[in-house]
Amino acid sequence: MRLAILDKGHTVGSKVLFAVIAAFSGQRVVDAVKLVMYRPDFYGTPMKKLVHEAMRGPSAWSVADRELMAAFISKLNECEFCIKAHGAVAERAYGEGSTVSAVLANLETASIAESLRATLRMLGKLTREHAVDADDMRAVLAAGASREQIADALAVGFGFETTNRLANAFEFFVPGPKAFEAGAKFLLARGYR
């Protein structure tokens, strides 16, 4: 973590909470948690509410699909922490790991629904080029995604286009697989609130 305040500048109450989490999970608190717990009124509290709605709110996309979108966007933004964190949640939510690894390796050949593939393709263009146009949206609709599904995917995009940038700029520490497994269990059970 490039800013010391994000690593060790939390209130005493937050530090106690970190110690409790570490004791229960056997893992050190990850930097994503430290970020949202630092001066939470400024960013963490309002952003957690947004991300929870995007990732766990009502949607025709499954939780697994939305976590896959998060991992996919993170890959294009070259955010190692977020790829591993949300790849792990998506794998757990799908009940297997092959879908996530196949999509991250090659979106065009992965065995997924065409509506999901087209949505990920559009999200990928938005991430790489910072813009999409009406033709891009027509292609997603033609592949079978509804307007509401596209809007839901863009909500996921808003959350992770933000989070990836912060993880990269502040240089989140990337822990080992056990930490991401513990994080995935927590995020599936409790969400982002």
Positions that interact with another protein (CB under 8 A): 2-6, 9, 38-39, 41-43, 46-47, 49-50, 53-54, 57-60, 77-79, 122, 126-127, 130-134, 136-138, 141, 147-148, 150-152, 154-155, 157-159, 161-166, 168-171
| Residue 150 or 179 with smaller CB distance to another protein | 150
Q: Are 48 and 193 in contact (CB under 8 A)?
A: yes
- Kindly state the smallest distance separating residue 23's Cβ from another protein, in Å: 28
- Supply 121's token pair: 């393709």
| Residue placing its CB nearer to another protein in the complex, 5 or 22 | 5
Q: Contact at 8 Å (CB) between 168 and 75?
A: no
Dmax over Cα atoms in the chain, in whole Å?
53
Give the nearer residue to another protein in terms of CB position, either 28 or 39.
39
For the CB of residue 43, give the shortest distance to another protein in the complex, in Å. 5
Minimal distance, residue 119 CB to another protein, in Å: 11
Alpha carbons 102 and 36: distance in angstroms, whole number: 31
In this complex, which beta carbon is closest to another protein, that of residue 4 or of residue 23?
4
C-beta of 15 vs 125, nearer to another protein? 125
To another protein, the closest distance from the beta carbon of 190 in angstroms equals 17
Residue 31 CB, nearest approach to another protein (Å): 13
- 73 close to 127: Cβ distance less than 8 angstroms: yes
**Angle formed by the axes of helices 98-105 and 80-94, nearest 10°:** 140
First to last CA, the chain: 23
In the complex, the smallest distance separating the C-beta of residue 166 from another protein, rounded to whole angstroms, is 5
Quick one: 30 or 36, whose CB is closer to another protein? 36
∠ Cα 161 163 165 (to 5°): 70
Measured CA to CA, the distance from residue 3 to residue 44 in angstroms comes to 16
